[in-house]
Amino acid sequence: MTTARNDPAELRSPHSTVAILGAASALGAPHAGPASGPEALRHATVAQRLDALGIAAEWLEPLHPQPPSSPATDMNARIEACAEFARRLADRLAALPTGRFPLVLGGDHAIATGTWRGLGRRGGRAPGLIWIDAHLDSHTEHSTHSGNIHGMPLAALLGTGHPALTAIPGPALDPARTCIIGARAWEPEEQALLAGLGVRVFEMSEIERRGLTAVFAEAMAIARADPEAGFGLSLDLDALDPQAFPAVTCPEAGGLDPRALAEVLMRLRTCPDLVGLEIVEYRPDLDPGRHGAQWVAEFAAAALGPDGASLQARESRYGAANYAPLPAVFQRGEGVWLWDVDGRRYLDMMSAYSAVSFGHSHPRLVGALVTQAQRLALTSRAFFSDRLPVFLERLCTTFGFERALPVNTGLEAVETALKAARKWGHEVKGIAPERARIIACEGNFHGRSIAIVGLSSNARYRAGFGPFPPGLERVPFGDADALEAAITPETAAFLVEPIQGEGGIIVPPPGYLSRCAEICRRHHVLLIADEVQTGLGRTGRLLACEHEGVRPDGLILGKALGGGLLPVSAFLADRAVMDVFRPGDHGSTFGGNPLAAAVGTEVLALLAETRPWERAERLGAKLVAQLRQAKLPGVREIRGRGLLVGVALDPAFAEAGEVAERLLSAGIATRDTNGNVVRLAPPLVIDEDVLDAAAHTIITVLRTYPGPRASTPHPHPAFIQ
């Protein structure tokens, strides 16, 4: 029995509501535990997890089985009861209207006979099916060793087995479009039946050899061989490694890693021909901490969440157009790696502009964040907290200053430094009111507030935002004589980046910073170093100023100070400068909050213990040498210090933005910066072998770049998974 054919893409449009149907049956299992799985999941986070991703979800009225008419020891009676339940389940699914995407939560795996016959009727023909399971579930009533019906559904769906199970209305599965992933326990009869039918079985040994990503891609090709029929996925949770997911009826040693499975399930997001998802065999009685329930929610979200293209479109529709991101939508980071919402992996060679120096989700930093968030996150500075004094002390002792003023973003820290410098100029140096001047450098990037943009030489940053505050001037970067010529008795401070990051990874001439420090001392001008991007080990020293033995009068820190988790920044100076601030002069509700202080303190502890600048110096020198020795076409210069490296391109050869897109296609995430430069700034924890592989990929991309008439970026397989 079939219904009128439906286009799978119409059944699962981007605007579909996920209809969650709990099939609360354990009739086919040796334990009643799975029957309570759907209700437990209803009270867990499945719908909420989907809603948080922008996917509408609704729970349908759950299905409950009728008890068997004969004692549970009577197999035929149990099969009849399972079949009756499966028929009702199939009817419910076949009748789902267009615009409802079915997510079926079991129950034991015997419910699958109803799920996939019903969805076959709904679509008008049998879908292809990916069956993820530790077992083959392909027994007949004659071959079963255990008598458990949840070991029979796949055979029944393929048209063999007990007549009551095979007779459930709906088309039988096509063996050529059916495959099993993760099998590691079966009886010979099952294996022989599937081999005779031609069902592809990907055993765990093959997955371990080839990798789950490659196996899943092949399985999708099998299941999607008939695009008009669509395909589905049935996940028995005993496919997972029981050490990570013990809440199942029939655990088997070994198995799939839950995180790896979630990553590959994201490939389903881009499949308009996906007609249904089924997740079964969850045992809440074996999951007291509800970690298993969280994984079920994660699997559903991975498979059914929005894909990258739709998320980009949504951001473009609702967000201000003040950024132009590259076309990758990231959803997870770990160490030096990023994963997008379509399941691809990338090497992070940008570190969020140096904010992720310790890598994504560093366990100690996440631990500090979670622990403090559970205790106290915010009080404002109207009160003391137990975390801020420790953070301030560690800041001052680590960097050798007497005072620290904590704020949130690097921009706030720069604004704090400007205010301190002007007030110092008036109160200490004796500059007349409203006359204090600040000097910065051409090509600088200190942020984008009105005052800071007034210091910028980038016409794009300034256009349309004037008038700017007076008393802001610029001199050429790297020219100490120009600085001295610009200083007047009204000059309060010189604000400088030891290495210009956004300016194009510009390293000044040797001796420049030390000469500037001497000039500032002689003219009684504050030297303020903006080390938001260069500080905390990025350039091969704790601070980039240390390359020339310079101790500035004021130090601006940010980005990496928050461990890639929170915006944490600070302005540091001695009392002679900082004590110009009095209560009410300057502040921030969130500045120095307990949560930020806890994370910042742990960052400083990691700095002291691991000294990441030492390996940054060594690995950065090796990376620069590799790129220079490659003598790449169209490359004007390789420059930088430590793990802050710029590849300056001849604009006649290539636009750095286009090269960054090609690198993204090759699995390397980074961006272009000022002066047609590609930025290379990985987390400081990067492994040397990984960095070597990255250098090889970068060299390959540049060597194969077609030049001025570049075509659409094409993928290189190096880091894409």
Number of Cβ within a 10 Å radius of residue 461: 16
Residue 552 preceded by cis peptide, ω within 30? no
2, burial (CB in 10 Å: exposed 0-12, middle 13-18, buried 19+): middle
Residue of 559, 571, 581, 719 marked catalytic = 559
Residue of 85, 101, 445, 653 marked catalytic = 445
Number of Cβ within a 10 Å radius of residue 277: 23
The answer to whether 137 and 150 have CB atoms below 8 angstroms apart is: yes
The answer to whether 232 and 275 have CB atoms below 8 angstroms apart is: yes
The answer to whether 547 and 539 have CB atoms below 8 angstroms apart is: yes
412 token code pair: 């706030």
DSSP string, 610-633: H-HHHHHHHHHHHHHHHHHHTT-T
Identity (one letter) of the amino acid at 416?
Answer: T
CA–CA distances in Å: residue 23 to residues 64, 86, 111, 239: 7, 9, 7, 19
The answer to whether 586 and 405 have CB atoms below 8 angstroms apart is: yes
Sign of CA dihedral 376, 378, 381, 383: negative
Calpha distance 154→137 (Å, rounded) = 6
SS3 489: coil
The answer to whether 92 and 41 have CB atoms below 8 angstroms apart is: no
CA–CA distances in Å: residue 15 to residues 56, 98, 272, 304, 317: 8, 11, 12, 12, 16
Residue of 238, 530, 553, 672 marked catalytic = 530
Which among 146, 80, 106 is positioned nearest to 25, based on CA atoms?
A: 106
323, burial (CB in 10 Å: exposed 0-12, middle 13-18, buried 19+): exposed
Query: Is 530 annotated as catalytic?
Result: yes
Q: Facing residues of 639 across strands?
A: 646
Q: Which residues are catalytic?
A: 445, 530, 559
